[in-house]
């Protein structure tokens, strides 16, 4: 694996592979890699000749009261993991390499509609930052395929819409959520949880599964299902930011004719904000 820090070198290196007819995939990350990230690398390895992983903690997607400075940075450990997974290129740019101007003067990409609710309302400007940096990475790498974890499902749909709307010739692939032995969705932020919190956190996924099972059995009052789930999580000491049953293709409120559904949630447990979702068909 080679490590590249400058866009010009990255383009030169990938141009050689592109001319030779090799397919190129991109796995964008913010580092502190765990099994969920590595599953993206494995999927990319199966589908393409050259695998590029970017590690960049993107300041544009953090709010003023969020954990940018404290976000875990583990480059040495991440590099070793990528080598083990036979990643070809680690792109490790600085902030100035990605954003040559000050952030206040940066051109921003806004993906409408799908980013308004949920993490979009709870973290104003977050998806603008995500869309902007991902679009820049797409232009820098020019991959044939890019991989995103489905834990950040709203983000996945946002990137998919961005690619469609801007007519980018990139195949966007989602990779299933990876979980620990308890069922908790893997996340870099799980390191903030205490042992007691780690034991109770899997209730989030269990709650979503219970809602999905009830819907498959015929439950149709989604408002009641959502309210009961929020109350259940509250009794376990969890503060629910949102919990919603939606159309899985566009995140619009699910109607009686919608069969492809997703249940999304964001929950505050201790100092940690956890997101999770479950996708299912009402008529399996």
179-228 confidence digits (pLDDT tens): 999 999 999 889 889 999 999 999 999 999 999 999 999 999 999 999 99
CA distance 100 to 113: 29
Q: Rg of the Cα trace of the chain?
A: 19
Question: Where are the domain boundaries for CATH 3.40.50.620 in the chain?
Answer: 2-175
Q: Which pLDDT score is estimated for 101?
A: 79
Higher pLDDT, residue 158 or 189: 158
Q: What pTM value is reported for the model?
A: 0.96
The number of residues in the chain equals 284
Segment 86-113 mean pLDDT: 95
Our answer to whether residue 126 is catalytic in this structure is no
> Which of 235, 169, 173 has its CA nearest to residue 207?
235
Which residues, in sequence order, are bridge partners of residue 2?
Answer: 89
Tokens of residue 186, six digits: 């893997």
State the CATH architecture for 2-175: 3-Layer(aba) Sandwich (3.40)
Q: How far is CA 277 from CA 169, 262, 263, in A?
A: 28, 7, 5
Q: Which pLDDT score is estimated for 256?
A: 86
**CATH number for the segment(s) 188-278:** 3.30.1300.10
In a 10 Å sphere around its CB, with 0-12 CB exposed, 13-18 middle and 19+ buried, how is residue 228 labelled?
middle
Q: How many CB atoms lie within 10 A of CB 147?
A: 26
Q: Which of 17, 34, 37, 126 is catalytic?
A: 37
| Region of poorest pLDDT, from 26-35, 51-60, 63-72, 104-113 | 63-72
Question: Where are the domain boundaries for CATH 3.30.1300.10 in the chain?
Answer: 188-278
Percent of the chain with pLDDT over 90: 92
Mean pLDDT of the chain: 96
Which residues, in sequence order, are bridge partners of residue 148?
Answer: 174
Three-state secondary structure of the chain: CEEECCHHHHHHHHHHHHHCCCCEEEEEECCCCCHHHHHHHHHHHHHCCEEEEEECCCHHHCCCCCCCCCCCCCHHHHHHHHHHCCCCEEECCCHHHHCCCCHHHCCCCCCCCCCCCCHHHHCCCHHHHHHHHHHHHHHHHCCCEEEEECCCHHHHHHHHHHHHHCCCCCEEEEECCCECCCCCECCHHHHHCCHHHHHHCCHHHHHHHHHHHHHHCCCCCHHHHHHHHHHHHHHCCCEEEEEEEEECCCCCECCCCCCEEEEEEEEEECCEEEEEEEEEECCC
260 phi and psi angles, rounded to 5 deg: -85, 105
Q: What is the pLDDT of residues 239-275, one digit of tens each?
A: 999 999 999 999 999 988 999 999 999 999 999 999 9
CA distance 111 to 250: 13
The number of angstroms, rounded, from the C-alpha of 120 to the middle of its chain's C-alpha atoms is: 13
Are 73 and 32 in contact, with CB atoms under 8 Å apart? yes
Tokens of residue 1, six digits: 């694996």
| Region of poorest pLDDT, from 66-70, 104-108, 135-139 | 66-70
Please check the confidence at residue 64 and state whether its pLDDT lies above 90: no
Does the CA dihedral 54-89-175-159 come out positive or negative?
Answer: positive
């Amino acid at each position: 694996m080679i490590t590249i820090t400058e866009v010009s070198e990255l383009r030169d290196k990938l141009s050689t592979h592109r001319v030779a007819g090799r397919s190129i995939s991109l796995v964008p990350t913010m580092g502190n890699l765990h099994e969920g990230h590595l599953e993206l690398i494995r999927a990319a390895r199966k589908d393409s000749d050259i695998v590029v992983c970017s590690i960049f903690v993107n300041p544009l997607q953090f709010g003023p009261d969020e954990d940018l400075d404290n976000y875990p940075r583990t480059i040495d450990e991440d590099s070793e993991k990528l080598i083990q997974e036979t990643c070809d290129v680690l792109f490790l740019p600085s902030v100035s390499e990605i954003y040559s101007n000050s952030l206040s003067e940066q051109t921003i990409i806004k993906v409408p509609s799908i980013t308004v609710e949920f993490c979009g309302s709870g973290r104003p400007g977050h998806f603008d930052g995500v869309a902007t940096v991902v679009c820049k990475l797409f232009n820098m790498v020019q991959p044939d395929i890019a991989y995103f974890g489905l834990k950040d499902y709203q983000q996945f749909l946002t990137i998919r819409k961005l690619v469609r709307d801007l007519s980018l010739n990139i195949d966007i692939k989602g990779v299933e959520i990876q979980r620990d032995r308890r069922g908790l969705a893997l996340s870099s932020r799980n390191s903030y949880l205490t042992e007691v919190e780690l034991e109770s956190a899997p209730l989030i996924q269990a709650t979503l599964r219970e809602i999905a099972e009830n819907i498959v059995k015929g439950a149709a009052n989604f408002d009641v299902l959502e309210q009961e789930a929020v109350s259940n999580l509250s009794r376990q000491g969890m503060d629910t930011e949102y919990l919603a049953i939606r159309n899985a293709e566009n995140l619009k409120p699910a109607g009686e004719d919608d069969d492809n559904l997703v249940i999304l949630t964001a929950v505050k447990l201790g100092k940690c904000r956890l997101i999770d979702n479950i996708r299912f068909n009402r008529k399996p």
